[in-house]
Amino acid sequence: MCLQRLPAAARAVHTQLCYGGARIKPAGRQSGPSALAARRRAPYLEAMTATPAFLDTNRPDVPDIVVPRGVTPFHLPGRPVRGRLVRLGALAEALLGRHQNAYVVTQLAGQALALAAGLSSALKYRGSFSLQAKGDGPVAMLLADCTQEGALRGYARADADRMEALLADDPNPSAARLLGQGYLAFTVDQGGEMDRYQGIVSIEGESLSAMALHYFRTSEQLQYDVHLAAGQGTEGWRAAALILERVAGEGGIDPDLDSAAQDESWRTALTLAATLTDAELLDDTLLPDRLIWRLFGGEGAVLDRPRALAYGCRCSRAKLSSILGSFGDADLDEMAVDGDIVMTCEFCKWDFRFARQDVGRQG
């Protein structure tokens, strides 16, 4: 991917992303602990890489779910087309079901998760991919991120009163109405001391897939096709994506294929993808290879090695304790309610409770 290089801005937004996941209660005070947390980043970021998640006994009891074929990549041999089919399976329910949001908001969060999972699988190096949408609509924050290894997490935060008013006016509002005016940011974080790459565009389009296509067109000049679906069935929430990418350059393309023939094969792939229904995307009984074959079998689609997805929140008491350790006593006193400080992981909806006397700079 050729993301716009904005190291300083990227670092700023990355800080926001990290802290977007952990909030200190009570929230809502302008000069309160959340605002302070956003300015003091180092201890938490350091702690994020200090302990591998599987060794971290301070983690909450999060679902131990791995979807072995979460992402199925494929390509059309000789033609400038590759794609990924993303199926979150039971992981969708585990990630989405813990949030008390309106149906349409959960649907949007599910689509964002499927999109992030699909785009992270295209990373050519170790790292993680984040999608963040921030607007002035009832859904003030939409966030999804996925590591190259497939650790996926995300959430949508909506204002309950504004959602109620919107749903009274329009029972099935578009993503555009949910998010309002704002921006969409895609961030690639290579971890450690490596640079972060970020592209930011204004929110344009009615659906999340249209917004993503606007991003690819304006920020990366890449041709994509994105189909996203999320819904609640008998076995809970499911979310899925089909992402097609037009391969740039010569690699793997039949040398006999002139540019007109390449354009034609891309258009054919788009036409075939347009026949896909949400029901097909979300149907777990229709296995990924069968669905890809149903759509692109006539084009000789070849499946590439599937990728696993897993519940990917990296929150833990140790990390949050480390954040609290960066505050002064006056701030900690202000955060405490009845002798306790409660920090909530926004991804897991898990409250971490710390006794005031156990946190802070000792000595």
Give the interface with Zn ion as residue ranges (CB under 5 A).
313, 315, 345, 347-348
- Based on CB atoms, which residue is closest to Zn ion, 189 or 225? 189
The CA distance from 18 to 350, in Å, is 16
- For residue 18, the minimal CB distance to Zn ion (Å) is 12
Phi-psi region of 28 (alpha: psi -120 to 50; beta: other; left: phi over 0): left
- For residue 43, the minimal CB distance to Zn ion (Å) is 18
The DSSP string of 325-338 is TTS-HHHHHHH-BT
- For residue 47, the minimal CB distance to Zn ion (Å) is 14
- For residue 308, the minimal CB distance to Zn ion (Å) is 19
The CA distance from 83 to 80, in Å, is 10
Contact call for residues 245 and 122 (beta carbons, < 8 A) = yes
- For residue 21, the minimal CB distance to Zn ion (Å) is 7
**307-311 and 151-158 beta bridge pairing:** parallel
Between helix 208-215 and helix 103-120 the angle, nearest 10°, is 30
* Nearest by Cα to 200 from 330, 13, 352, 52: 13
In the numeric block, the tokens 């979460």 are attached to 70
- For residue 345, the minimal CB distance to Zn ion (Å) is 3
- Based on CB atoms, which residue is closest to Zn ion, 21 or 135? 21
- For residue 349, the minimal CB distance to Zn ion (Å) is 8
- Based on CB atoms, which residue is closest to Zn ion, 146 or 212? 146
In the numeric block, the tokens 């008390």 are attached to 100
- For residue 172, the minimal CB distance to Zn ion (Å) is 30
- CA-angle at 44, arms to 39 and 50, nearest 5°: 155
- Based on CB atoms, which residue is closest to Zn ion, 131 or 345? 345
Q: Where does the chain have alpha helices with state H? A: 7-20, 33-39, 42-50, 90-96, 103-120, 160-169, 175-179, 208-215, 259-273, 278-282, 288-296, 317-324, 329-335
User: 281 is written with which tokens?
Assistant: 């995307």
- Based on CB atoms, which residue is closest to Zn ion, 253 or 313? 313
* Nearest by Cα to 63 from 347, 359, 357: 347
CA dihedral 130→18→70→316, nearest 10 degrees, is: 170
- Based on CB atoms, which residue is closest to Zn ion, 281 or 348? 348
- For residue 176, the minimal CB distance to Zn ion (Å) is 29
- Based on CB atoms, which residue is closest to Zn ion, 82 or 314? 314
The CA distance from 266 to 83, in Å, is 11
Beta-carbon count within 10 A of 303 CB = 14
- Based on CB atoms, which residue is closest to Zn ion, 76 or 343? 343
- Based on CB atoms, which residue is closest to Zn ion, 262 or 316? 316
